[in-house]
Every structure is written in C-alpha cells, then in structure tokens.
C-alpha cells in the first residue's frame, strides 16, 4: 500500500483499510455498518476493507500484516486495558488515523487522551455523542 498521511486525498483506485479492535462484537458490527454506510460507493471509486479483531494481540498482528489507514481501538480489551492500548497501536502504525473507543470517559481519561495525538473519541455506552461518519471519517481517510 502506498504511504499516505491521514487526511490526504485518496487516489481513485486506492484501497482503504480500516481496522476495528473491539471485544464487544455488537459495538464492532454497529461501527462497521456505520462506516460502510458513511463510505458508500458514490463517495470514492476505491475499495474499503473493514477488519474486526477482538483482542489487542489479534489487532497488533493485523497491523503487522497490513498498515491500516484508520484504526478504532477500544481501551478496555480482555488482554489489554487503558490508555496504553492507544500507545501500543500508535507505536505500530504512526501514520494511521486512530479513534479511541471508550466505555466511559472519566476526567482522568480525558486528560490522558488530550495529551496524545488522536483523531477522535467515541463513547460506546450511555448517551452517544454525535459523530458524523459521512464527513468526519471521510476527512480522516481523505475522501472530502
């Protein structure tokens, strides 16, 4: 895959690789569905590949196989927990856009996240914030 910075314009024949590292399959599938709906065939003449992994070990192995353009990483996985999940993913894919998935955003977590270079945070329980996939995700992967 050619090197491309997050937000740079996509070429017409380029493949978009999105990795979701989330242990709760219902959340991962809902996110995948939203991504597929937000990145429809009319948005770009490129192919989109969405891969779901349910542990940090599997997620890091997937990153080793192919560098994703966009990664969604849960900070509460069965085999890894906390802000270090973001740090481990960032260490493996420094050029990828990363969005953190968090069950709850505590003040301490907000502070930790504010000190890192992340593209966004999605709270996966309670009241959901508005997250416009059609424009926000498009901007992250260079489709706007």
pLDDT at 131 over 60: no
Angle between helices 84-92 and 56-65 (to 10 degrees): 10
CA distances from 5 to 44, 63, 116, 127 (A): 17, 16, 17, 32
pLDDT, residue 134, reads 43
Q: Is residue 8 part of a domain?
A: no
99/62 Cα distance (integer angstroms):
17
Q: Is residue 135 part of a domain?
A: yes
Q: What is the pLDDT of residues 71-117, one digit of tens each?
A: 999 999 999 988 999 999 999 998 899 999 988 888 888 888 888 88
Q: Is residue 125 part of a domain?
A: yes
Tokens of 41: 């065939």
SS3 130: coil
Evaluate whether 66 touches 59 at the Cβ level (below 8 Å).
no
Q: Is residue 1 part of a domain?
A: no
Tokens of 139: 């901007």
pLDDT at 1 over 50: no
Q: Is residue 75 part of a domain?
A: yes
pLDDT at 139 over 70: no
SS3 102: strand
pLDDT at 9 over 60: no
Q: What is the pLDDT of residues 16-64, one digit of tens each?
A: 899 999 999 988 998 898 887 766 555 555 678 999 999 999 999 999 9
Higher pLDDT, 138 or 124: 124
Name the residue range of residue 47's domain. Answer: 15-141
Number of domains comprising the chain: 1
Specify the CATH number for the domain of residue 127. Answer: 3.40.50.2300
pLDDT, residue 140, reads 54
pLDDT, residue 144, reads 46
Q: Is residue 64 part of a domain?
A: yes
Residue 80, beta-bridge partner list: 77
Tokens of 11: 């070429």
pLDDT, residue 44, reads 53
CA distances from 118 to 8, 67, 87, 94 (A): 16, 17, 10, 11
pLDDT at 8 over 60: no
């Amino acid at each position: 895959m050619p090197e491309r910075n997050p937000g740079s314009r996509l070429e017409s024949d380029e493949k978009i690789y999105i990795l979701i590292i989330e242990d709760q399959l219902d959340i991962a599938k809902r996110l995948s569905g939203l991504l597929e709906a937000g990145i429809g065939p009319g948005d770009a003449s490129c192919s989109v590949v969405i891969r779901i992994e349910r542990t940090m070990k599997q997620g890091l192995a997937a990153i080793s196989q192919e560098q994703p353009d966009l990664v969604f990483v849960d900070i509460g996985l069965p085999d890894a927990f906390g802000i270090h999940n973001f740090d481990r993913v960032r260490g493996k894919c420094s050029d990828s856009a990363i969005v953190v998935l968090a069950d709850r955003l505590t003040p301490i977590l907000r502070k930790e996240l504010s000190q890192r270079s992340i593209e966004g945070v999605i709270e996966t329980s309670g009241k959901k914030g508005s997250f416009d996939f059609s424009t926000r995700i498009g901007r992250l992967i260079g489709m706007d």
